[in-house]
């Protein structure tokens, strides 16, 4: 059972520590790739807060393809080097964008999005995709959110075989 009320009175750091603590038991005994990624998107979406989209894109045949997510329907394919997601893959680094309208080439999926955090999924030096999170708030994502989503990728890397994509 998942009770969102448990997190109501926690500050951000407490919530994110709880998120990390819950991620491992959520995925460690389950072998299904799609199950683990779907649950991971739902967990991050529930605990980060003040966001309007959260999900995965995975590299298939040289472009990013939409994976499991929470939010409105989104762009299905993004070329490497395009948008915030494609740039995170090309540069192999986290993109934390205070105001997406100032990012040249930003790809708008949900018109309400104003800021964005994209963390690349890199294992054994190979990029497999990204976790993408959008918010309606300008400057929603701080170093704190960046650190915790990067830690989520580390935990996922321990259990997920990304070659199954
Ligand atoms: N804004 C992203 C596209 C994906 S959506 O936000 C879900 C980008 O510029 O790559």
Q: Tell me: the pLDDT tens digits for 38-86?
A: 999 999 999 999 999 999 999 999 999 999 999 999 999 999 999 999 9
What pLDDT does 158 receive?
97
Say if residue 137's pLDDT is above 90.
yes
> pLDDT for 2-32, tens place per residue?
888 888 899 999 999 999 999 999 999 999 9
- Would you say the CB of residue 85 lies under 6 angstroms from ligand 1? yes
User: Among residues 73, 67, 92, 65, which one has the least CA distance to residue 81?
Assistant: 92
- Would you say the CB of residue 78 lies under 6 angstroms from ligand 1? yes
Distance CA 59, CA 65 (A): 6
- Would you say the CB of residue 64 lies under 6 angstroms from ligand 1? no
Nearest atom within ligand 1 for CA of residue 109: 5
pTM: 0.97
What is the number of other CB atoms lying within 10 angstroms of the CB of residue 133? 28
> pLDDT for 82-131, tens place per residue?
999 999 999 999 999 999 999 999 999 989 999 999 999 999 999 999 99
What pLDDT does 63 receive?
98
What is the number of other CB atoms lying within 10 angstroms of the CB of residue 21? 11
Distance CA 19, CA 56 (A): 17
State the alpha helices, DSSP H only, in the chain: 12-27, 33-48, 83-91, 143-159
- Would you say the CB of residue 129 lies under 6 angstroms from ligand 1? no
- Would you say the CB of residue 84 lies under 6 angstroms from ligand 1? yes
What pLDDT does 56 receive?
98
- Would you say the CB of residue 145 lies under 6 angstroms from ligand 1? no
- Ligand 1 centre and the CA of 84: distance in Å? 6
Dihedral sign from CA coordinates of 10, 3, 114, 83: positive
Nearest atom within ligand 1 for CA of residue 69: 7
Contact 138, 7 (CB under 8 A): no
What pLDDT does 6 receive?
87
For the record, the structure tokens of 137 come out as 């708030």
Distance CA 19, CA 112 (A): 25
């Amino acid at each position: 059972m998942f009770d969102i009320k448990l997190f109501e009175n926690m500050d951000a750091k407490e919530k994110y520590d709880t998120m990390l603590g819950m991620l491992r038991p959520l995925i460690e005994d389950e072998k299904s790739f799609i199950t683990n990624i779907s649950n991971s998107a739902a967990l991050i979406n529930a605990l980060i807060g003040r966001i309007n989209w959260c999900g995965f894109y995975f590299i298939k045949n040289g472009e990013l393809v939409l994976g499991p997510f929470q939010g409105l329907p989104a762009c299905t394919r993004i070329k490497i080097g395009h948008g915030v997601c494609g740039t995170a893959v090309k540069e192999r680094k986290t993109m934390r964008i205070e105001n997406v309208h100032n990012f040249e080439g930003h790809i708008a999926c949900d018109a309400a999005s104003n800021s964005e955090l994209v963390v690349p999924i890199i294992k054994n030096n190979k990029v497999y995709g990204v976790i993408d999170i959008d918010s309606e708030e300008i400057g929603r994502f701080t170093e704190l959110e960046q650190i915790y989503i990067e830690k989520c990728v580390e935990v996922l890397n321990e259990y997920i075989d990304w070659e199954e994509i």
